[in-house]
């Protein structure tokens, strides 16, 4: 099957995907990409784990500075781009 998404597009849709806010056809195409892309699968798992840990910290009333949040998000995006370019080699 044709791969409808590039890895960066998956990263951009990830929050909506995990929150169930994508239209069915977009979700289906993203699922198709994720089924065959190990770097994106790893990214989703890392993102979910980070989200879970962040939720736990919020429950403990620990504030994560916005700058730290943005740096983590930026790092994760860079990581998926690196992994996806390695996949193309």
In a domain, 2, yes or no: no
In a domain, 49, yes or no: yes
In a domain, 33, yes or no: yes
Two structure tokens written together for 2: 């044709």
Two structure tokens written together for 12: 């951009």
Say how many domains are in the chain.
1
Give the domain extent around 63.
7-88
| Distance (Å) of CA 84 to CA 37, 49, 54, 55, 77 | 8, 20, 26, 28, 11
In a domain, 44, yes or no: yes
Centroid of chain to Cα 33: 13
Tens digits of pLDDT across the chain (89 residues): 445 568 888 888 888 888 899 999 999 988 888 888 888 888 888 888 888 888 887 777 767 789 998 998 899 888 887 877 766 55
In a domain, 1, yes or no: no
């Amino acid at each position: 099957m044709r791969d409808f998404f590039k890895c960066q597009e998956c990263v951009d849709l990830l929050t909506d995907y995990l929150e169930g806010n994508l239209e069915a056809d977009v979700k289906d195409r993203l699922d198709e990409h994720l089924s065959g892309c190990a770097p994106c699968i790893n990214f989703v798992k890392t993102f979910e784990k980070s989200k879970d840990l962040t939720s736990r910290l919020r429950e403990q009333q620990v504030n994560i500075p916005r700058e730290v949040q943005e740096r983590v998000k930026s790092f994760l995006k860079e990581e998926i781009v690196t992994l996806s370019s390695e996949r193309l080699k």
